[in-house]
A and B are shown apart, each in its own frame.
Chain A
Amino acid sequence: MKYAFFPGCVARGGTPELYMSTVQVCRGLGIELEEMVSASCTGAGVLQEKNRKLGDTLNARNFALAERIGLPIMTICSTCQGVMSQANKRLREDAGYLAEINEVLAEEGLEYKGTTEVKHLLWILLEDVGVEALKRHVVRSIKGLRIAPFYGCYMLRPSDALGFGERPERQHALETLIALVGAEVVDFPGKSRCCGFPILTINERNSLRMVAKHTGEAKDLGADAMVTPCPLCHLNLDGFQPKAAKQRPTGIDLPILHLPQMLGLAMGMDTEALGLKRNIVSPKKALEKAGVQM
């Protein structure tokens, strides 16, 4: 099982612990990764605000690079996944548009034929590795933990670009994985909402209200931690939680785990190797509940 690994800007920037834990977990599961070091940013929907064709061309370049080495792309970011899925859909559904974009790529000696699959680690775990194989790797019980899921908008919307038609189970993939590692799922309506990160520097007040609302709601329902497959959500829900906590008289103090950090814990991995000390809201107390020392 081998993938062209697209870590995205944030796992290579503000959330190095996501990169570390992904590499650890994939090694543990026997997933081979070939990192796409020459791949560019997807545009994250922001570039597309100004110029969709430019965004689609940059993504087509990334798809062409993966196509050339004959590997599907693995993402570890909801935003990267969503933006790439949308671009891939537009390119695959419109041969004229693809040809137009290939004209630009041709000048770089590249061509995208439309065959590259783009899959988030979350989907790879459940669909390619498989539930039974994963269960065999779960060696540490985190049974006492109550974990709330938080998807990140682009892992859920627009649903027609994310393959939900053929794979409706993707809509509950995070809950499936939480249950699979032995933790209890804390379901709450905020799991599918926006974390506020896209407007952090534009309207910080609203952004922090979103952080406080979602983390506070999960905390009130008894969650010990939250897990997200999106580093952008993580930056906001974790990094800005101390600031957002001022909105609640009781504070928040809800650790936010990256998806591979949660899985790595259940696979018995060392907390240091999973970068858990780099999380802003310390998961120490929550992990003690599951008998894991940091």
Chain B
Amino acid sequence: MQVKLKVRRYNPEAENPVAYQQEFTAEVEAYSSVLDALMYLREYVDDSLAVRCSCRGAICGSCGVRINGQATLACKTKVVSVAPHGETITVEPMGNMPVLKDLVTDMKPFWDKVRQVTPWLQPEGLEPEGEYVVPPESMTHLNGVMGCIMCGVCVSDCTALEVDSNFIGPAALAKAYRFAADPRDGESQERLRALNEYGGIWDCTRCMECVEVCPKGVAPMDRIMALREKAMAAGFTNTYGARHAEAFSDSVKEGGRLDETMLAIRTIGFFNVPKLLSMAPVALRALVHRKLPMPSPFHAPIPDVHQVQRIFGRLEKKL
């Protein structure tokens, strides 16, 4: 069968190095992957087309690209799944990283961020004579995250990285969790302290793009949420993020539904006058447009709020 592809091309060594879209038709089988189609093009149509790949079995993590706007592994994506009725398939390089040529991106920023989280075990105490022995059940929570193949797909579609290259990003944070939550690691406290800094765990927007695109089910955002919980439990509560989580929880507990105005004030901090003042024009505009919610004590609780409060009482973990 034939498949039509629109491939983003870019050659930095060309006379006029600008990116452009090129349309191709590839001869494939019904069971072929998008990578098979790209390899066909490189073999038989245009040998200048740059594609990075190796195992062709979703193990090596080399062939990350954007297919129809979403990052994925080209080898794991069947042609028929993205073009069931013969639609044209758009293939572009991954986002949030520089393009070297055509579909090949520079992974250096990716690896730099992974190195930033000290991605190795730092056990405490004397080195044992043999291996570091722990019960298997104390490691099961790490099985999912250890499935990461470092393909960069989550980083490609991260919405926070899109606006701030300083953000450590989902892959490196998932790796950070892998060690911070390892029972053999002795540096968890220091790791969590570092992850609370600007560019760390609190800059994730919880948009779930990384969860959606990860080809190995690592769910990086869930690991970031687990790191937040760990950091708060470890006493790192003096951040906007931690105050936001706590104020949110208190607000729901007190009234059953959110008191948005107080949530913002408590997150920013009552005595953080410059930041509170910077919000004043926004609040004033909302007031003029009759949409500034009344804060406590004017914020009425829901009927039966005592039910919500009792549920909190039974299940709440105090920081």
Contacts and interface: CB of A to CB of B under 8 A. Distances in A.
Contacts of A199: 160, 202-205
Contacts of A158: 208, 211-212
Interface in A30-82: 37-41, 43-51, 53-54, 57-58, 61
B207 interface: yes
B316 A51 contact: yes
A279 B258 CA distance: 21
A49 B245 contact: yes
Given A37-B302, A49-B225, A157 B209 contact: yes
A153 B157 CA distance: 13
B258 A9 contact: yes
A10 interface: yes
Interface in B200-228: 202-209, 211-212, 225, 228
Given A38-B303, A209-B164, A278-B291, A239 B207 contact: no
A185 interface: no
B307 interface: yes
Given A57-B315, A202-B202, A243 B267 contact: no
A115 interface: no
Contacts of B202: 199, 202-203
Contacts of A38: 256, 302-304, 307
Contacts of A150: none
Interface residues of A, number: 59
A61 B291 contact: no
B229 interface: yes
- Sorting the interface of chain B by its residue count into under 10, 10 to 19, 20 to 34 or 35 or more gives 35 or more
Contact of A108 (B162, B256, B310): B310
B243 to A, nearest CB: 9
A102 interface: no
Nearest to B259: A13
10 contacts: A14-B260, A16-B290, A41-B252, A49-B245, A108-B307, A153-B207, A193-B159, A198-B205, A202-B241, A278-B289
Given A107-B314, A203-B198, A213-B162, 20 more contacts: A13-B293, A38-B256, A47-B252, A50-B229, A50-B246, A53-B315, A54-B316, A104-B311, A108-B310, A110-B307, A154-B208, A189-B69, A194-B159, A199-B205, A202-B267, A205-B164, A206-B203, A240-B282, A277-B289, A278-B291
Interface of A: 9-10, 12-17, 37-41, 43-51, 53-54, 57-58, 61, 104, 107-108, 110, 153-154, 156-159, 189, 193-194, 196, 198-199, 201-203, 205-206, 209-210, 213, 239-240, 242-243, 277-280
Interface of B: 69, 159-160, 162-164, 167, 198, 202-209, 211-212, 225, 228-229, 232, 239-241, 244-246, 248-249, 252, 256-260, 263-264, 267-268, 281-282, 285-286, 289-293, 302-304, 307-308, 310-312, 314-317, 319
